[in-house]
């Protein structure tokens, strides 16, 4: 394989920065030290990674351009929302390249992501008898498939990934042949899942109102960082009641609006600290960029969420890992 890595982290931001090809932010929502694992490999035609994180995380960003991006939940230990849709344990995730996304990942979840070069996927799709139906189905970010078939495909996909990770490199000709075999096997498993007669090709799963409210509040909190809107401000802007906002956050993120939005902003400070040097930006200035002006309160909240003081956070760590 062209590139194989197995990594363990104690920070979700370093974890996110290490995932190749993806432009995304992870925000830790539950308190405590983060522990995560990331295994990834890249071939000529696809990129695969298997991740597990012990904390609840919200992921948002943009899918790699000119790709077709799938993800298979390996276990579903809690409430999951993908693009505002509820997810069960036999759901396949899908994103078109360049598409913005938001994904709520519960504590301890394990996820296998498989990203194909668009040309490779389109070529395989054209060879199926159900290409038109599948193109319609791929308008959905959450594709519900046969639970029995999904469990079987999940086992085989995991086995293919594990075998590829441990396989010893031989000469380049054989290595490319092995890459092609892996790509075709992964493509076949996913296409067979979607063309299975038990998979409804006309399914529609609209985004929920509650998810829309959480996503809108999230984006406002990260774009209006200095003048952070209060929960009451958000209610007025969205023209919904405080109870509706409270219920939305409980349902989607299993926390309160105040805790969620404060956590997202604290994660913003942490990313800022980890992407700059101390000589370039003080902790106080980084905190102020995200609307925290009382340093003692900020430090206490930061320590409660990340189990370390901001002064102990490694500076410029994200850039160092991204270059590695």
Q: Domain residue spans in the chain?
A: 3-195, 209-323
- The reported pTM is 0.92
Find the length of the chain: 324
Asked if residue 18 has pLDDT above 50, the reply is: yes
- Among the listed residues 302, 193, 210, 297, the one whose alpha carbon sits nearest the alpha carbon of residue 251: 210
Helix (H, G, I), strand (E, B) or coil at 61: strand
Q: Distance from first CA to last CA of the chain, Å, rounded? A: 18
pLDDT digits (tens, 9 = 90+) for 66-115: 999 999 999 888 889 999 998 888 899 999 999 999 999 999 999 999 99
pLDDT digits (tens, 9 = 90+) for 200-257: 888 888 889 999 999 999 999 899 887 888 899 999 999 999 999 999 999 999 999 9
CATH of domain 3-195: 2.60.120.10
Q: What does pLDDT average to over the chain? A: 92
Roughly what angle, to the nearest 10 degrees, separates helices 118-126 and 172-195?
Answer: 60
pLDDT band per the 50, 70, 90 thresholds, residue 14 = very high
CATH of domain 209-323: 1.10.10.60
């Amino acid at each position: 394989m062209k590139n194989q890595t197995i990594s363990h982290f104690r920070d979700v931001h370093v974890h996110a920065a290490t995932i190749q090809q993806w432009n995304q932010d992870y925000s830790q929502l539950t308190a405590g030290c983060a522990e995560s694992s990331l295994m990834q490999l890249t071939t000529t035609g696809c990129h695969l990674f298997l991740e597990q994180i012990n904390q609840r995380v919200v992921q948002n960003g943009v899918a790699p351009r000119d790709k077709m991006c799938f993800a298979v939940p390996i276990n579903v230990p809690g409430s999951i929302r993908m693009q505002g849709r509820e997810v069960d344990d036999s759901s396949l995730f899908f994103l078109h390249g360049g598409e913005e996304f938001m994904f709520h990942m519960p504590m301890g979840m394990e996820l296998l992501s498989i990203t194909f070069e668009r040309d490779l996927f389109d070529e395989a799709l054209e060879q199926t008898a159900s290409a038109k139906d599948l193109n319609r189905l791929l308008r959905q970010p959450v594709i519900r498939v046969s639970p029995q078939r999904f469990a079987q495909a999940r086992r085989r996909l995991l086995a293919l990934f594990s075998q590829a990770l441990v396989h010893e490199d031989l000469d380049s000709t054989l290595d490319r042949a092995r890459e092609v075999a892996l790509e075709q096997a992964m493509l076949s498993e996913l296409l067979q899942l979607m063309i299975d007669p038990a998979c409804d090709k006309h399914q529609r799963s609209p985004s929920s109102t509650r998810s829309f409210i959480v996503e809108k509040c999230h984006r406002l909190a990260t774009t209006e960082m200095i003048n952070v809107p209060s929960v009451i401000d958000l209610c007025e802007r969205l023209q919904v009641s405080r109870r509706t906002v409270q219920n939305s956050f409980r349902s989607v993120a299993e926390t309160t609006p105040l805790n969620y939005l404060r956590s997202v902003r604290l994660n913003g400070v942490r990313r800022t600290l980890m992407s700059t040097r101390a000589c370039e930006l003080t902790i106080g200035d980084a905190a102020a960029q995200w609307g925290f002006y009382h340093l003692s309160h900020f430090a206490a909240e930061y320590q409660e969420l990340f189990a370390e003081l901001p002064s102990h956070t490694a500076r410029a760590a994200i850039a160092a890992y991204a270059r590695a």
